Structure formats: structure tokens, C-alpha cells
Structure 1
Amino acid sequence: MGVNAVQTWLEKKSPTTPPQLLILDVIVPSYRVQMKYFEPIIKLNKSPTSSTMVIIIVDNPVSPDVDLLKKYERDPFIRIRVHNSNIGASLTRNRGLRESAADYVLFLDDDVTPDPNILLECEKVIRQYPGACGFVGNTKFPDPTPSIATSAITMWGGTFF
């Protein structure tokens, strides 16, 4: 009896169907291993109705903080992979996808501090639109330190997506 058969039986026989476990992995390709950004990603709030693995792919084997990052590998839901040589951002992201077995993935850059509830919000949207093939979110840049350069960039509008 497969998962679909059990789900069909539950839908027919049960007054309330428990939510199906959502599998959502976080993939972080990285060249600069900066712990101030990785620790908040590793500690994101997780839902009891989803399974999440954080997969960090390091594309710089000589980064001085790789050993600090590897201490998190004791957690079975954290996977750290370090390339033997620099292979570039695209191939590093693809490696992260190959490491994942999730139904959905959330790509995060290695220099962002996401909202602690981003995984909970992702799960809400995925459950609301189960047939969607992908989602795009907004990025909020920190307020710049006032200078002529930051004012020019703001006026140019190049940081708004």
C-alpha cells in the first residue's frame, strides 16, 4: 500500500486529514564562509509539519572558517560539503540541488540574514499554492550609510527588483 493509497483512504474515512509532511531544504552556496550569516540560517524556525535540511556548499576549500562551520554537521539536518577547488556559483548551486531530496528548495545567498520565520512563511505559501512550480520573494536591503555613492545608487534604482 503506497503513500497515495493511504492518503486517499484518509481523505475518504477521516473527518480531518492531517497535513502531509512538507519537505523543504535550504541550499546555501558559499565562497566566503562568514559565520555571522550562517548561524542565523542554521537556526531558522522550523515547522512541526515539515522536514528541513540546511545544505551548505562551500566553493572555497581554503576558507579560514570552514572548520567552524563543520561543527554544525553533528546535526543530522545540516549538511556541509566543501569542494576541492573553486567551480563557480552555478555549479555550486547545482551541487546543492543534487544533495537535496526535497520537494521544494529555498536558495539563500551566503551574505543574507533571513527573517527567522522564512521557512514557516514558505510552508504557508507552498500549502496555499501546491500546484505552483516555483516562488519568488522580496528582498529588503539594509538602510545604507548615507554617502554620495549610496545616494546615487538609490536614485539609480539598481537595487530594487
Structure 2
Amino acid sequence: MTEDDKKYEKVATKEGEEIKNDEELVGLKPKMTLLNGITVIVGSIIGSGIFISPTGVLKNTGSVGMSLIVWITSGLYSMVGAYCYAELGCMITKTGADYAYIMVTFGPFLAFMRLWVECLIVRPCSQTIVALTFSVYVMKPFFPTCDPPDESARLLAAVCICKY
């Protein structure tokens, strides 16, 4: 038994008595390894935007050098945000990430609202963007001289979302 297992062995108590039966024990065991953490962070940072936004950045900046400066500046801002997030994770050790941070900082109402906005708006919109990006790139070889039709891209994205 590791130290973490011992730490979470006595999570719940019943009328002052410790519960040692695993079936009656309620609690979360942290089981994230370094590799799990790295893949979660990389998956959060590198989304579908990395495949579709370089064209727009290059088009709007006008030169490769300026677009590299924009990418480096954006990377530095992301790094500062990651450091702030890591600091929050070290200060507030409750389970729940964003929800726990907002709960401690601003109270239960704003934490509740943030959770519902995440569930009803942020997650569905980001999944839609990923599906649309995927469908445009999958259909691109079939339309080498022009962009794929919007209706076809939307239909393929809807199929991807429904199958996922």
C-alpha cells in the first residue's frame, strides 16, 4: 500500500467510527501520473485551432516574420496563464479545478453559474468547432480547386458529433 492509498484509506466516518470497508468508503483517489498530466495539458492547449489558424495569422500579418512574432507572443501569454493556473492548483487543493477555484474565490453562486455555462455553452461550442474543422480538412482532397460546400461540411460535422 502506497502513501497515497494510506492517506485516502480513512476518508469517511460513520458516527465517529472509521469505515474500513471499501464498499462503504466514499471519496476520490487522485490517480494522475506525469504522463497523464502532460497529455491533458497538451490536449487542452493544442486544439483544432493550431491546424486552421496559421493561415489567418499569416494572411492578416502579411509576413512570415510578423506571424512568428504573433505566435511567440501568444505562446508567452499562454505560458503566463498556465503558471497562474498552476499557482491556483497549488493554493487550492480541492477537487474540481475551475469550479473549486471559483467556489473558494467568489462563492457558490458564481461557481454554479460557471459550471452551467461550461456545460451548456463552452463544451458544445468547442466540440462543434473541432468537428467543423475536421470535416473541412477531410473534405478538402475531394475539392482541390475550391472550398468544400458549407452544407456538406456541416452535415459531416453533425455526423461526427452524433457518432462521438
Q: TM-score, normalization: structure 2?
A: 0.27
Q: Please say which structure displays the higher CA radius of gyration.
A: 2
Q: Which has the higher contact order (CA 8 A, sep 6+)?
A: 1
Q: TM-score, normalization: structure 1?
A: 0.28
